[in-house]
């Protein structure tokens, strides 16, 4: 199971890496943690991957003030991050905002881009040391 996850992770990240830059890549777990944290306005280090089933990761966030547990699902398709609250539906409807990631500055940073569908977008840049 771990070997399959590793192979999938490697293939997806290799496909998303810029060939020109030769940038070190982020693991799928780090991309999903950072994307969900960005969407929810949280610290990526507070998001924990608790389970991997195929290409879907289950992430958990424990709110410090009351220990309420929030669960999310995440998967990567190319440079797109697809996610869902748990329980809840995948945010893959044409009307849903689209979330993308981009490796920046030779792998020193990860950008999360939220395309809101209304023509507006938000992007947040994370330094490698704030993610890992």
Q: What is the pLDDT of residues 57-69, one digit of tens each?
A: 999 999 999 999 9
What does the pLDDT read at residue 124?
A: 96
pLDDT at 22 over 50: no
pLDDT at 120 over 60: yes
What does the pLDDT read at residue 106?
A: 87
What does the pLDDT read at residue 20?
A: 39
Q: What is the pLDDT of residues 53-108, one digit of tens each?
A: 999 999 999 999 999 999 999 999 999 999 999 999 999 999 999 999 999 998 99
What does the pLDDT read at residue 15?
A: 45
What does the pLDDT read at residue 78?
A: 95
**Three-state DSSP class for 115?**
strand
Q: Residue 83: exposed, middle, or buried by beta-carbon count in 10 A (0-12, 13-18, 19+)?
A: buried
Q: State percent of the chain over pLDDT 90.
A: 77
């Amino acid at each position: 199971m771990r070997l399959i996850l590793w192979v999938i992770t490697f293939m997806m990240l290799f496909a998303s890496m810029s060939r020109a830059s030769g940038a070190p890549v982020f693991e799928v777990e780090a991309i999903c943690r950072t994307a969900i944290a960005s969407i929810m306005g949280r610290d990526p280090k507070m998001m924990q991957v608790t389970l991997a089933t195929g290409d879907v990761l289950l992430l958990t966030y424990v709110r410090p003030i009351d220990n309420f547990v929030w669960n999310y699902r995440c998967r990567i398709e190319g440079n797109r991050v697809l996610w869902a609250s748990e329980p809840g539906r995948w945010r893959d409807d044409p009307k849903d905002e689209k979330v993308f990631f981009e490796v920046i500055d030779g792998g020193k940073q990860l950008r999360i881009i939220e395309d809101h569908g209304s023509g507006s977008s938000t992007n947040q840049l994370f330094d490698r040391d704030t993610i890992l």
